[in-house]
């Protein structure tokens, strides 16, 4: 008898060891994917905001209405040895629209790897969110395992998170979304554990109350849109409490009521504290005006499709942003066929799970939560008039729930094996429709094969993101530099209009690319003609202050500045939101390629 018990204990311990080994494998795979080509894509304006504010620097140090050098433009990207945490927090409250916790962490992170005076390293900046992205793999493992009391759900969820194209996209940006995802995971876990105690009519432990308040408070200290997660959790909590106790309210333990109200009060206090700190400062300085919706008919029909365009890459993505039209068409077709199979298959797994006591409650909680967040997105978009669906990254508010729901549906059908259609098996043909039907039947009949197919499509999506064929950056300064390199023969002035730090970030993208190109002199020798020690002096920048689009003062300022510069000169007007009138300058009528993020014209002045 003792031998039998010890044998069972040994098997159980071995199983747990294998469980940790498998989780470690997913984290290694996810880590390799997140750190591959980490600095290959150029930073965009939001990432520059992270860099500058985290260093304790100020965008206002870049002079306006005067010609500046490349070094002056990039001065805010130098590691500031004198700046402290208080400087980071102060700058964020004055100039940005985000809470300071993540920026403080980045400030400390950079100091571990870089010395004062150096230009900030993009790879260092992106390595922290990449590392947090790896931790999210373990996070969804525990969410799936604890919520469904199933290591299989946890493992499948972790494997999907490891290769999720959306997850890798967020992890390779110098932004705070992967840290927010960790708090979304933790908060969802607290919600599920709380509802489990309520449905079992047991007392919610105090450690869970305090943990939930702390998690929610920290989540709000990372991103204000974390409040969407909290509101949806509150809605879910209310719905399930009503469903459980509507017929017998006396069963609702008073101690549990006090503890739930304590969570709500503690979380709300943090939110109100941030509101009082930020709103009097002039929240965001109009930094979120870009997400206001368009006024034409597309406003009414685009948000649902924009949401769909976010949900698909959470699981898989193919080269839909390739420059080759046939590849784009083929990729789109494969994705459509894949999701035509996956969606009904996942629904079948969820329906089966709803009939199981083990899975029912957690499935209903996650589905209600997901529906709540999406409803909030649509209400804010259609009623308030701020189209949150335009920004894929805001879906961090519910992303882990999607991964765990899909993981649970695959786990529920993991052991399901059905006999295939014999008539179809006997047909020997190369008809594509018949082959697709056979593949469809095989995936539907074998739960393990279905998981392998989903994971493989996720892995292909991860490679797509790493090769910059999906989730491409909004700005492509390297392409603009290439155009300037191929066509310029004189000193260059890059001019733009300035309304906020966004325009400084746009110019910094060009400047940082030039700085990198300076280290690869042979690639840009068409720009740098003079044989002096600092050939980068042949490119200068001009940011003209502007309070409104098409301001005639911007036109006048550009004209006067160019008149005072030595000739010959090339003026490249980039994202210049005003009329351009230059003396003794000829506009280049050559048709140049379209470049994401940069509208430009070339003027040759003699």
Summarised one tens digit per residue, pLDDT across range 129-156 is: 999 999 999 999 999 999 999 999 999 9
pLDDT of the residue at 180: 97
Task: Tell me how far apart the alpha carbons of residues 34 and 38 are, in angstroms, rounded to a whole number.
Answer: 7
pLDDT digits (tens, 9 = 90+) for 233-258: 999 999 999 998 887 777 788 899 99
**C-alpha triplet 69, 72, 73: angle, nearest 5°:** 90
pLDDT of the residue at 428: 57
Are 180 and 135 in contact by the 8 Å Cβ rule? The answer is: no
Element (H, E) at 520: none
pLDDT digits (tens, 9 = 90+) for 289-305: 556 555 566 667 888 89
Closest listed residue to residue 317, CA positions, set 468, 158, 436, 476: 468
Task: Tell me how far apart the alpha carbons of residues 184 and 179 are, in angstroms, rounded to a whole number.
Answer: 9
Under-50 pLDDT residues of the chain: 1-2, 4, 284-285, 424, 521-536
What percent of the chain shows pLDDT beyond 70?
Answer: 86
Are 571 and 562 in contact by the 8 Å Cβ rule? The answer is: yes
Query: b/e per residue, 68-95, with b = 16+ CB within 10 A?
Result: bebebbbbbbbbbeebeeebbbebbbeb
pLDDT digits (tens, 9 = 90+) for 409-458: 999 999 877 665 555 455 555 556 666 666 667 777 788 999 999 999 99
Q: How far apart are the two ends of the chain, measured CA to CA in Å? A: 98
Closest listed residue to residue 186, CA positions, set 157, 214, 151: 214
pLDDT digits (tens, 9 = 90+) for 342-401: 999 999 999 999 999 999 999 999 999 999 999 999 999 888 888 888 889 999 999 999
Q: What is the pTM of this model?
A: 0.90
């Amino acid at each position: 008898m003792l031998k039998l018990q010890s044998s069972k204990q040994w098997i159980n311990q071995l199983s747990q060891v294998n469980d940790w080994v498998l989780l470690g494998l997913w984290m290694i795979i996810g880590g390799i994917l997140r750190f591959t080509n980490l600095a290959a894509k150029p930073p965009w304006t939001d990432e520059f905001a992270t860099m500058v504010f985290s260093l304790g620097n100020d965008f206002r140090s870049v002079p306006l209405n005067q010609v500046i050098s490349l070094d002056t433009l990039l001065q805010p990207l130098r590691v500031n040895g004198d700046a402290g945490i208080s400087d980071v927090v102060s700058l964020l409250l004055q100039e940005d629209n985000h809470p300071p916790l993540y920026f403080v962490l980045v400030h400390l992170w950079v100091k571990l790897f870089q010395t004062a005076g150096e230009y900030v390293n993009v790879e260092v900046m992106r390595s922290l969110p990449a590392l947090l992205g790896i931790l999210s793999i373990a996070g969804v493992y525990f969410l799936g395992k604890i919520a469904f009391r199933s290591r299989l759900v946890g493992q499948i969820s972790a494997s999907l998170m490891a290769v999720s194209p959306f997850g890798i996209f967020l992890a390779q940006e110098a932004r705070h979304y992967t840290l927010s995802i960790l708090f979304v995971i933790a908060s969802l876990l607290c919600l599920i554990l709380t509802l489990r105690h309520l449905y079992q009519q047991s007392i919610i432990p105090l450690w869970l109350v305090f943990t939930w308040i702390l998690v929610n408070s920290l989540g709000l200290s990372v991103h204000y849109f974390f409040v969407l997660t909290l509101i949806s959790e509150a809605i879910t909590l209310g719905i399930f409490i009503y469903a459980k106790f509507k017929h017998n309210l006396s069963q609702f333990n008073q101690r549990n009521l006090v503890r739930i109200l304590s969570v709500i009060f503690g979380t709300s206090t943090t939110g109100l504290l941030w509101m009082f700190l930020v709103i009097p400062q002039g929240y965001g300085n109009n930094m979120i005006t870009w997400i206001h919706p368009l006024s034409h008919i597309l406003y009414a029909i685009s948000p649902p499709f924009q949401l769909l365009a976010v949900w698909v890459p959470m699981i898989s993505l193919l080269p839909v942003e390739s420059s080759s039209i046939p590849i784009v068409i083929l990729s789109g077709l494969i994705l459509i066929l894949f999701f035509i199979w996956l969606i009904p298959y996942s629904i079948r797994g969820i329906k089966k799970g709803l009939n199981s006591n083990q899975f029912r409650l957690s499935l209903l909680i996650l589905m209600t939560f997901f529906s709540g967040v999406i409803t909030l997105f649509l209400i804010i978009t259609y009623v308030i008039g701020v189209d949150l669906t335009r920004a894929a990254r805001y879906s961090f508010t519910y992303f882990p729930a999607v991964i765990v729901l899909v993981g649970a549906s695959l786990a529920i059908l993991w052991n399901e094996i059905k006999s295939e259609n014999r008539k179809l098996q006997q047909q020997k043909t190369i008809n594509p429709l018949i082959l697709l039907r056979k593949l469809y039947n095989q995936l539907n009949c074998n739960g393990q094969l279905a998981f392998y197919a989903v994971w493989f499509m996720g892995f292909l999506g991860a490679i797509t993101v790493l090769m910059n064929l999906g989730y491409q950056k909004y700005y492509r300064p390297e392409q603009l530099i290439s155009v300037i390199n191929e066509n310029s023969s004189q000193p260059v002035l890059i001019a733009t209009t300035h309304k906020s730090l966004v325009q400084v970030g746009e110019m910094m993208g060009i400047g940082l690319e030039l700085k990198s190109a300076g280290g690869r002199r042979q690639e840009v020798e068409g720009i740098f003609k003079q044989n002096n020690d600092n050939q980068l002096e042949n490119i200068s920048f001009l940011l003209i202050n502007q309070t409104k689009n098409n301001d005639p003062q911007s036109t006048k300022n550009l004209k006067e500045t160019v008149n005072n510069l030595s000739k010959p000169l090339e003026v490249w007007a980039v994202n210049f939101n005003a009329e351009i009138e230059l003396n003794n300058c000829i506009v280049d009528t050559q048709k140049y390629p379209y470049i994401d993020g940069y509208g430009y014209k070339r003027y040759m002045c003699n």
